[in-house]
Structure 1
Amino acid sequence: MASHRRPKQPSRTRVTVLTATAAAAVALSAQSASADPQPSKTDVKTKVDKLHEEAEQATEKYNGAKEKQEKLEKQVGELQDKVARGQEELNKLRDGLGSMATAQYRSGSIDPTLQLLLSSDPDSYLEKASTLNQLSAKQADTLQQIAAKQRTLRQERAEATGKLADLESTRKALGERKSEVQGKLAEARDLLNTLTAKERAEVLGESDAAGQADKGGAKGGTDGSRAGRSESRPDLGKALPTSQRAGSALSAAQSKIGSPYVWGATGPNSFDCSGLTSWAYAQAGVTLPRISQDQANAGTRIYDQGSLKPGDLVIFYGDLHHVGLYAGNGQVLHAPRSGTNVRYEPMSNMPFQFGVRVG
């Protein structure tokens, strides 16, 4: 017989528990959503500034590794050429020694005393014997040359092998620094993309730099179409450079205002910080080292900001990873960071370490 009992209704206690559980789930969901809000413009700026500073540090390390690689490649090439020439000289010495040995063998191996007794022309024999003695002395000299050349070649080959190992290590470091720079810039770009175009421009510090992020690395971003565009020029005061070369370097850098910052770039259409200063001084006939840490030792250091003159190098941050040109009245002309252009900026925006007056 079928059961006609009514289904059991949930108890008041069970309903209460289920309701409380659902309410708790909704509350947790709301709490979770509020715990992960979009970062504010201030937060983004702080993080982006930090990432760009770290990227510039890595950029200067990249520049140093690249410079070292180029020097090592040149040294390795010269050593390899030297070894090849030395081997050629050694082969010639060996060939000459072989020819002398063959001549001796063909002259016969009869005892010289017996040859004298049997000779019908003692005078002729003595003349030949004298030639043979001279040949032996020459042969001994050739052997000494061969031994010396072999020692030299061993040393040169060992040096070349060491340089090649150093080159391989430098290439590896170069790749690591490149990946580090690209990673920092990608992270900064992602953060900037959470902002509006106007906010991005404000964070980057340029009204027309909204959304720009360095995608090209050392081989990209060479469009110099914005170089020399209209910029608001700050009051640079009336101080004069201490030398014609310093003035020429500053003028050269001023002609590149508006050119984009590109890490690893040395001009003429895009620059990183030390790329701009080295390019500017090159236009004045002065060769500066490639990286900011080395440029810090390129002249006389000036620790008093009040003693700086236009055209002096100005070094920033404790590890000296940023450099620009003093423009006057507390302003620096520099290539600031990825996403910006060559521009003037108050020196107070960065931790100044010292100036360098290039001799």
Structure 2
Amino acid sequence: MASHRRVRPLGQYSTVAALSRTAATVAAATAAVLAAGGSALATPGDPGGGSSGGGAPVTADDVQHQLDGLYAQAEVAGQQYDGAREKERALQRESVLLQQRVAEEQQHVNALIQSMGSIASAQYRQGGGVDPLVKLLLNAHPDQYLEQASTADQADTVAALKLQQIEEDQRQLVQDRTEAVAQLAQLETLRQSIADSKAQVQQRLGHAKALLDTLTAAQRAQLQQTEADAAGVAAQVAEQQLPSDQGPASGRAAEALAAAESALGKPYVYGSAGPGSFDCSGLMYWSWRHAGVTLPRTSQGQAFAGQRIPLSQARPGDLVIYYGDMHHVGMYAGNGTVIHAPYPGARVRYERVGDMPVASVVRI
């Protein structure tokens, strides 16, 4: 599968110029995809995707531009999926705890009411009437009854205090039950969001596959070879020894970098955070967990997980956030390279830091 990154020769580079060129390329590619209704299914000999002939043949480079846009859209949806899944897991934990609390509160209210049974029975025998406590015990809606009863005037001091406690606990129980119902509704909304994001990813990847199928075997081989050559050169550059003042900024950064390097060659799978496969933010999450640090799950969250620094001051282990909407992230590996999980169908690899538009660099 071809790369969705525009590859440039490695060597001395200008950050501003690199970002301008790459941003223009991606913007043009994405605009072309959106203008085509999101499918970008142009066929050889028909650059516009229409039925009329006579146009110039679609080249591998033309397809590469359109793939850039499709993979970018798929990755945006993938990060939305990751974010919704992260929220879902947190809300599930909160929901379980809240439901446990509701159950405990109900047991506590029941115990308080039962403890007053003997008091109510005694007052009934002595007074011969139906005591408010008995009415409470027999009432199908004790919370409504308690709101109407004046316990201080109708029961002795001990009973009044117990009634007051029951009333307070019953109100808390109703409040917590309402919150639990709201959480379950929110969970359902999140699950629908997860399903929608997953469908968007699959749709974009289906379009990308159809687009690649329009190429000849020779064209596909050309794209694959270009990608392999660029990754190989980037790996050679990344592995060159760094000066001591350009190494990882901390011991934890060194551990995170070592973990990311151990994942080289693992496949990209959206929504995955290791150990056998990764998406872009999943690789960062997994690598920094090896260093004892828990990052947010999405690239957007990771963009605010540490100190912002200029790209010129990047050290190995720093996070490099890409694109204006921050939908992609890699780890700076030194010598102007990053380790990242590029897109579905590709594998974790080294790449030139300036081959995508850098939004920010974050030091954890």
TM-score after normalising by structure 2: 0.73
1:233 to 231, 235, 245: 235
Q: Are the counterparts in 2 of residues 201 and 207 from structure 1 also a CA contact under 8 Å? A: no
- The answer as to 2:191 corresponding to 1:191 is no
- Deviation track 1:82-128 (CA, whole Å, cap 9, x = no partner) reads 11111111111111222210122234549xxxxxxxxxxxxxxxxxx
Q: Are the counterparts in 1 of residues 268 and 344 from structure 2 also a CA contact under 8 Å? A: yes
CA gap 1:34/1:151 in 2 versus in 1, 3 angstroms: same
Q: What letter corresponds to residue 319 of structure 2 in structure 1?
A: L
Q: What letter corresponds to residue 298 of structure 2 in structure 1?
A: I
Distance (whole Å) between structure 2 residues aligned to residue 310 and residue 317 of structure 1: 20
Aligned to 1:342: 348
Distance (whole Å) between structure 2 residues aligned to residue 138 and residue 231 of structure 1: 83
Larger radius of gyration: 1
Structure 2 gap segments, 5+ residues each: 1-49, 130-154
Q: Are the counterparts in 2 of residues 64 and 291 from structure 1 also a CA contact under 8 Å? A: yes
Distance (whole Å) between structure 2 residues aligned to residue 73 and residue 171 of structure 1: 11
Tell me by how many angstroms 1:138 deviates: 1.6
Distance (whole Å) between structure 2 residues aligned to residue 254 and residue 181 of structure 1: 27
- Deviation track 1:291-346 (CA, whole Å, cap 9, x = no partner) reads 0111011111012x221111111111001111110011110110011111000001
Secondary structure of the residue aligned to 2:214 is coil
Q: What letter corresponds to residue 72 of structure 1 in structure 2?
A: L
Q: Are the counterparts in 2 of residues 206 and 340 from structure 1 also a CA contact under 8 Å? A: no
CA gap 1:231/1:249 in 2 versus in 1, 3 angstroms: farther
- Deviation track 1:254-309 (CA, whole Å, cap 9, x = no partner) reads 01111001111000010000000110000111111100111011111012x22111
Tell me by how many angstroms 1:45 deviates: 1.0
Aligned to 1:76: 95
2:335 to 329, 336, 351: 329
Aligned to 1:251: 258
TM-score after normalising by structure 1: 0.74
1:151 to 171, 188, 210: 171
Aligned to 1:221: none
Distance (whole Å) between structure 2 residues aligned to residue 32 and residue 169 of structure 1: 41
Q: What letter corresponds to residue 99 of structure 2 in structure 1?
A: Q
Distance (whole Å) between structure 2 residues aligned to residue 152 and residue 195 of structure 1: 65
Q: Are the counterparts in 1 of residues 234 and 351 from structure 2 also a CA contact under 8 Å? A: no
Tell me by how many angstroms 1:57 deviates: 0.7
Q: Are the counterparts in 1 of residues 247 and 316 from structure 2 also a CA contact under 8 Å? A: yes
1:306 to 301, 304, 312: 312
Identity of aligned residues (%): 46
CA gap 1:264/1:38 in 2 versus in 1, 3 angstroms: farther
Q: What letter corresponds to residue 187 of structure 1 in structure 2?
A: H
- The answer as to 2:124 corresponding to 1:105 is yes
2:82 to 59, 63, 76: 63
CA gap 1:328/1:108 in 2 versus in 1, 3 angstroms: same
Q: Are the counterparts in 2 of residues 83 and 157 from structure 1 also a CA contact under 8 Å? A: yes
Q: What letter corresponds to residue 96 of structure 1 in structure 2?
A: S
Secondary structure of the residue aligned to 2:338 is strand
Distance (whole Å) between structure 1 residues aligned to residue 249 and residue 113 of structure 2: 63
Aligned to 1:357: 363
- The answer as to 2:186 corresponding to 1:166 is yes
Q: Are the counterparts in 1 of residues 235 and 351 from structure 2 also a CA contact under 8 Å? A: no
**Relative contact order (C-alpha < 8 Å, sep 6+): which is higher?**
2
Q: Are the counterparts in 2 of residues 234 and 344 from structure 1 also a CA contact under 8 Å? A: no
Structure 1 gap segments, 5+ residues each: 1-30, 111-134, 209-229
Aligned to 2:321: 315
Tell me by how many angstroms 1:231 deviates: 8.9
Distance (whole Å) between structure 2 residues aligned to residue 234 and residue 264 of structure 1: 29
Q: What letter corresponds to residue 181 of structure 2 in structure 1?
A: T
1:177 to 183, 197, 202: 197
CA gap 1:176/1:32 in 2 versus in 1, 3 angstroms: closer
Equivalent pairs counted in the alignment come to: 282
Aligned to 2:115: 96
- The answer as to 2:295 corresponding to 1:288 is yes
Aligned to 2:270: 263
Tell me by how many angstroms 1:201 deviates: 4.7
Q: Are the counterparts in 2 of residues 278 and 288 from structure 1 also a CA contact under 8 Å? A: yes
Distance (whole Å) between structure 1 residues aligned to residue 51 and residue 125 of structure 2: 101
Distance (whole Å) between structure 1 residues aligned to residue 347 and residue 121 of structure 2: 75
Task: Name the Cα RMSD after superposition.
Answer: 2.2
